[in-house]
Chain A
Amino acid sequence: KEMDEIVAEFIKRTILKIPMAEMMTILKAWDFLSESQLQTINFRKRKESLVHDLVMLCEEKHANVNDAALLDIIYTQFHRHQKVWDVFQMTKEPGEDIDLFDMKQFKSSFKKILQRALKNVSVTFKDAEENAVWIRIAWGTQCKKPNQYKPTYVVYYSQTPYAFISSSRLRSSIPLLGQALTVASKHHRIVKMDFRSRYLDSLKAIVFKQYNQTFETHNATTPLQERNLGLDINLDSRIIHENIIEKDRVQRVTQEIFGDYPQPRLEFAQYKLETKFKSDLNRGILAERKEPLRCLVKFSSPNLLEALKSLAPAGIADAPLSPLLTCIPQKRMNYFKIKDK
């Protein structure tokens, strides 16, 4: 069977995306082309001709759409930050039996549900560490073949109620996807959490409450890390800091709230306010209104939680910070709607 033109084009475009530095690693992880085949390739060529050679090799091996989809999954695993991930939470009915999760059953059930609903859909699975599975879904319609260039990714950790789904413009596909996940994993309901980020690993660390893993025990071989919030404290004893009592208090409060561990990486928090405008001035255009003032406040940072942690020690904000900011990891939310009580 000749390799489909569509598949060839798909493989070509996927390999073109891969940076040269990662080419060998990704091809080896794909494990489709053999060692001997890879050795015949001259990786010093210009990328376009290298890609052409690789596509030829894939043709020799009769790569199909599933093989191409696997390569796409591996590329996405290496570049997971290029997608924005939503977090979904599933619930069971109370009193349900213990989940005897069978990966084979899950995969077949998931695929069947999607294929029964849509004539044209391609589903690919790749097992990952910690009994998780990466699922790639390419959506088609009754008439059109699946569009391989706008897939949705699902990362599901088995025997947990959480799934991470890449944001897509195809909003219509989400309910069906949710249903397939819920039924295949033997849950009853699925709800989208107000939690979104590019950093999949941070979302997982926060949702699974794995971001603080330092514990005080009698057997600790490594001493507790010194409380160093990264401030340049002058060690010259001839220089005494003004307000050292206040500085110590701020450090202590910050350490209690944020801990000693590196903060999981998030890039924004968004607050939708629907509150009445409050002003110190007795008069003002906005002060007299009965309706709430609608506004959106968005905090952005390369590392939002580390930035929040450094606010009070830097003197920019009072300690303790507003609980609206510090509750992000505990509440597993970074989208807030605030209304007057």
Chain B
Amino acid sequence: MGASTRRDCGTREQRIFSNHQRLTLMTATIAPPWSGAPTHLLYHPAAANAHHVPHTPPGGVLAHLERLEAESRKKFEEPQGAESALGNKIRNLRSLRDKLRAEVNRRQAGVEASVESDQTFEVSEQEVLERKRENVKSILQAYRFTGLSGKLTSRGVCVSISTAFEGNLLDSYFVDLVIQKPLRIHHHSIPVFIPLEEIAAKYLQSNIQHFLFSLCEYLNAYSGRKYQADQLQSDFAAFLAGPLQRNSLCNLLSFTYKAEPSGQSFPFCARLLYKDITRTLPTDVTVTYQGTDALSTSWEEQRASHENLFCTKPLHQVFASFARREEKLDMNLLY
């Protein structure tokens, strides 16, 4: 333990010593910064001889004094001439400066005038371009109303399919395509029960247009069927005698209803099958009567006509017509 500390002390001492060395070296070579003129630390006899120390002049003291007087007169006169010459020079330079300044100002004004006119021109052009850009943006945004639109992406295109039914804009679905060989779908928002893989397998590589139109067909039909079922549940709930049974694709609907909710009509059971999921009208309709007695002819006629109605008209429109008949009956009762 003792030996090592001593060694440490030694090294510490060494380091300090070397610092000192450096410091002293510095002071020896560089003059302190606060001195103005270069200082000479040592008085050098050779330097002393130059100009500073006077010695005895030739011709005596008087002659020397005369010489000094002549020198001073010369020095007095010289500035006069020099002064006028310098004064002229100054005046010339000043006038030249003023001329140049005037020229600069003149040219500056000219440039500013031209720049201003350019700027005003640019501003109006910019406004026009901005308006054009906004216009194009709005047109691109409005394209969604055509049902099929898209936007270029870094890897391909993102296609938007906006579905509609009877003029009502419904849900939008997206397919992000990567433009490569082979063409592939990066990600999408198509519901899992729509046969996207089937449609892609058939058309995506061979005919992209067919792929998109086919997908549009399936999605619009699904949206339309969903819309009809939603309308029935929301607007015509009074006509339903029980919950509406439906499935994901809205291609099987089953419900019990009364054509006249307030009246004495019998409840009918309707079962609508949409075997073609590219259509919004059912392919098979069965309307049955849930009673034990046989139906009278008038009720049988009604049942058959309802079956026909469900086959040919959208679901909510059938119920809307029931509602109108109800109103008419009410009106008749008033009179």
Q: Do A and B bind each other?
A: yes
Bound-state CA distance A99–B247 (Å) is 10
CB pair B252–A209 under 8 Å, yes or no, is no
A173 at the interface (CB under 8 A from B): no
Q: How far is the CB of A340 from chain B (nearest CB, A)?
A: 28
Q: Which B residues lie within 8 Å of A130 (CB)?
A: 248
B92 at the interface (CB under 8 A from A): no
Pick the contact of B275 from A98, A159, A213, A219 — CB < 8 Å?
A98
CB pair A209–B188 under 8 Å, yes or no, is yes
Task: Kindly specify which of B3-11, B73-81, B138-146, B306-314 makes contact with the partner chain.
Answer: B138-146
A301 at the interface (CB under 8 A from B): no
Bound-state CA distance A212–B153 (Å) is 15
CB pair A215–B251 under 8 Å, yes or no, is no
A167 at the interface (CB under 8 A from B): no
Q: Which A residues lie within 8 Å of B192 (CB)?
A: 157, 160, 162, 208-210
Bound-state CA distance A103–B160 (Å) is 32
Closest residue of chain B to A131 (Cβ to Cβ) is: B248
Bound-state CA distance A318–B141 (Å) is 41
A295 at the interface (CB under 8 A from B): no
A97 at the interface (CB under 8 A from B): yes
CB pair B245–A100 under 8 Å, yes or no, is no
Bound-state CA distance A210–B192 (Å) is 9
Bound-state CA distance A104–B248 (Å) is 14
B149 at the interface (CB under 8 A from A): yes
Closest residue of chain B to A105 (Cβ to Cβ) is: B252
CB pair A159–B247 under 8 Å, yes or no, is yes
Q: How far is the CB of A127 from chain B (nearest CB, A)?
A: 11
Fill in one digit per residue for B262-277: 1 if any A CB lies within 8 Å of its CB, else 0.
0000000000011111
Bound-state CA distance A19–B249 (Å) is 38
Interface size on B, as a range, is 20 to 34
CB pair B248–A98 under 8 Å, yes or no, is no
* Number of chain A residues close to chain B: CB under 8 A: 25
CB pair A100–B193 under 8 Å, yes or no, is no
Main SS of chain B's interface residues?
mixed
Q: Which A residues lie within 8 Å of B275 (CB)?
A: 97-98, 100
CB pair B249–A212 under 8 Å, yes or no, is no
A149 at the interface (CB under 8 A from B): no
A216 at the interface (CB under 8 A from B): yes
Q: Knowing A209-B188, A213-B189 are in contact, say whether A159-B151 is a contact too (CB < 8 A).
A: no
B254 at the interface (CB under 8 A from A): yes
Bound-state CA distance A159–B252 (Å) is 11
CB pair B252–A101 under 8 Å, yes or no, is yes
Closest residue of chain B to A219 (Cβ to Cβ) is: B141
Q: How far is the CB of B91 from chain A (nearest CB, A)?
A: 53
Bound-state CA distance A187–B314 (Å) is 31
B158 at the interface (CB under 8 A from A): yes
A158 at the interface (CB under 8 A from B): yes
A102 at the interface (CB under 8 A from B): yes
Closest residue of chain B to A215 (Cβ to Cβ) is: B174
B97 at the interface (CB under 8 A from A): no
Q: How far is the CB of A115 from chain B (nearest CB, A)?
A: 23
Bound-state CA distance A215–B137 (Å) is 17
Q: Knowing A209-B188, A213-B189, A218-B140 are in contact, say whether A98-B251 is a contact too (CB < 8 A).
A: yes
CB pair B187–A217 under 8 Å, yes or no, is no
CB pair A218–B187 under 8 Å, yes or no, is no
Bound-state CA distance A216–B188 (Å) is 11
Q: List 23 A-B contacts (CB under 8 A).
A: A97-B275, A98-B251, A100-B274, A101-B248, A103-B247, A157-B192, A158-B247, A159-B193, A159-B247, A159-B248, A159-B249, A160-B193, A209-B188, A210-B192, A215-B158, A215-B174, A216-B151, A217-B144, A217-B158, A218-B143, A219-B141, A219-B144, A219-B160
Given contacts A100-B273, A158-B247, A217-B158, 18 further A-B contacts (CB under 8 A): A98-B249, A98-B251, A98-B275, A100-B251, A101-B247, A101-B252, A102-B247, A102-B252, A131-B247, A158-B193, A159-B193, A160-B193, A209-B188, A213-B187, A216-B153, A216-B158, A218-B137, A218-B143
Residues on A close to B: CB < 8 A?
97-104, 130-131, 157-160, 162, 208-210, 212-213, 215-219
Q: 3 closest A-B pairs (Cβ-Cβ)?
A: A215-B174, A159-B193, A212-B187
